[in-house]
Structure 1
Amino acid sequence: MQEILRTNDIVLISFVEALLGDASIKHVVLDQNMSILEGSIGALPRRLLVDEDKAAHARVILNDAGLGHELVPPPSPGQ
């Protein structure tokens, strides 16, 4: 799995999930339940991950949707 997005914005997460779902790209959002520990203040970002073989396609979809500035940089080769 490769992280492509990290944000505190739950609306953005929902939008990205819809975009990826429409493209049939399986994804997972981590750290959703951390709000219980932080008191629901939204201080801890949620991470959205996709399969490594779909990461490039997911990045193209998000770039086309005008969300390129929200993307986590791709890992360096060999990581």
Structure 2
Amino acid sequence: MKELLRTTDPTIIPWATAILQGEGIEVFEFDVHMSVLDGSMGILPRRLMVGDRDLFMALAVLKDNNIPTGQ
């Protein structure tokens, strides 16, 4: 499992997830329930993870759709 992106922007994760699933890439969202610790202020980043074998393709798909990954 590899980290694809990390963000505090609540709109990027669903957008990236929809695009990747449309390409047949299985994604997993980590740290969804961390808002309990930060009081639902959204200051703790959430992560989008993919399988090791899907990382290269997932990065290419996000780049093609102008979604910043930080990698």
Runs of 4+ in 1 over 3 A off after TM superposition: none
Compare CA radii of gyration and give the structure with the larger one.
1
Calculate the TM-score normalised by the size of structure 1: 0.85
- Pairing of 1:45-60 with structure 2 (within 5 A): 45-60=45-60
What is the aligned partner in structure 2 of residue 72 from structure 1? 70
Give me the whole-angstrom Cα distance separating, in 2, the residues matched to 1:72 and 1:2.
13
Identity of aligned residues (%): 37
RMSD value over aligned CA atoms? 0.8
Give me the whole-angstrom Cα distance separating, in 2, the residues matched to 1:22 and 1:72.
22
Is the contact between residue 3 and residue 72 of structure 1 (CA under 8 Å) also seen in structure 2?
no
Q: Which consecutive residues of structure 1, in runs of 5 or more, have no partner in the other structure? A: 74-79
Structure 1 residues 13-72: Cα deviation after superposition (integer angstroms, max 9, x where no partner) = 0100000110111111100100011100001000110001000000000000012xx213
